Chains A and B, each alone.
Chain A
Amino acid sequence: MSPSSITKMHEDTSLTDEGAQELPPRSTLTAKELLREVGAVLRISEAEANTLSSQEPSDDQTMIINMGPQHPSTHGVLRLMLELDGETVLRTKPIIGYLHTGMEKTAEELTYLQGSTNVTRMDYLSPFANELVFSMATEKLLGIEPPERATWIRMLMAELNRVASHLLFLATNGMDVGAVSMLLYGWREREEVLRFFEMVTGLRMNHNYIRPGGVAADLPPGWRDEVLRLLELIPPRLDEYDILLTEQPIFRERSQGVGLITAQEAIALGVTGPILRSTGIEWDLRRDMPYLAYEQVDFDVVVGSYGDCFDRYAIRLNEIRESIRIVHQILDKIPEGDYRVQDKKVTPPPRARIDESMEALIHHFKIFTEGFKVPEGEVYVGIESPRGEVGCYLVSDGSSKPYRMHIRAPSFVNLQALPHMMRGGLIADAVAVISSVDPVLGDVDR
């Protein structure tokens, strides 16, 4: 680095030093801040907030404890600062960034073809959703439409990914509230789905399978039998989970009425996915703003009514059933044809052509080294991932690398609902609430 830029960066210090990421002492809280703490969303009046502030405990009555980043129930490296009044949680501040690896910056150095290797590692439990949203944004900028078979393959993978992701949620949610045996069952079933992914893409996770223009390869021989095996295997297991968790009084006690959030709060906080649906809002991008071929399949949007942990659990469990319904229809309707767009600018030539044509070899080489140029412009594409809306804001300056790629991570936004769900609850319920948000820290921190 040049010396001048170092000085320049140090001059920036005044701009960047914003102090520690800590909870301010309660005694310094003004009525307005308290309003924000409890009422920003609820819109209580300032007068009410003032009366409330006189009832608030003082600093020496409350205690701040740090939960995480190594706590096993925080699903990775989430750190929570909890302010406790006895056993009651008052303020919660999620502190994130422990897994930040600058993936949005990395994306600016990778071509569009390499881009999906990057985004697939963000939300590592739903890699296909990330690849899909990035590919869809690139395709929108290019103005190309993937062939029909590619669309259906994408849908198949996205739905099975939803099954795998929700199975892992059931496993960890079970463990977090004390049903440890559920952990084993959930992981076991998820592994069956991952085995299918490995068969198709070669990898259990981080597939880099959905790429701009289509998918990396056609489905391998025997894929249909493998999917049918999954479709036979999983539904009876879901019925077992109903016995193990849904009907189990201890589990219900631990999750019903815990971590409440209202529809109004959820919308104001930008919360999407199962958490938004648990408040009774029927909002699923697959149905409400259809992409791929979702308007050609029949499925129900599962909604809750209380906005508690139990609703969020039940929604995810039943979404697996809906996804299985969708996969059945995909098996019936998936057309024959090409698995990637035949646009010479975007698609490398087929393997056989490389052996016989020098031009094809050069073309192949250029696509993988230089990449393809994407016309100038900017788009935002949002799709329904297992955790909510995952979006990709892509800016192109006409070169073969994105000028700016921003991923709207569902876990990042959903985590903001945590302080609202926790407030007034017991510290013992905190683990259940975190679990029901189902955050993936790779997605939060990117």
Chain B
Amino acid sequence: MNVLKLTPERCTGCLRCEIACSYVQTGAYQPAKSVIRVSPFEGHTSYAPYTCTQCAEGWCMTACPVGAITINGAGAKDVVDDLCVGCKLCTIACPYGTMFYDTSTRKAFKCNLCGGDPACAHACPTAAIEYEDVATADWIGDFARERVSHVLALEGAR
């Protein structure tokens, strides 16, 4: 299956992915509702996007007490809004922190790969986000490990 392949070295922190994601997912430009989130590293000199890996277990899906999370045509775990009651169990069952809750709709929401045509990958001007048929991976761990060393060193010096 195609997954979101992240190459953090190419990310400029422009946040177009968050804007595109929230627009396609909610119909409004509101990065707070984006399910891909860009984090700064090394004192805002580096950035990396982070989103659902579509993990094999699907902790959100197996935790849902009413079967409201399913697998869509793109192979992504996807919330069925009509079934979700908003109990938040998926938000604590997902060990990656990529399951969210919308206080206005009172439903859980997550990355569903836009059904197979992810807006974030289209919007990214530097190909830091690509949609490819590769195994999912920890795309940003090594990058982050390197790019927090400066901050940790400063803390240690205090």
User: Do they bind each other?
Assistant: no
Question: B residues near A, CB below 8 A?
Answer: none
Question: A residues near B, CB below 8 A?
Answer: none
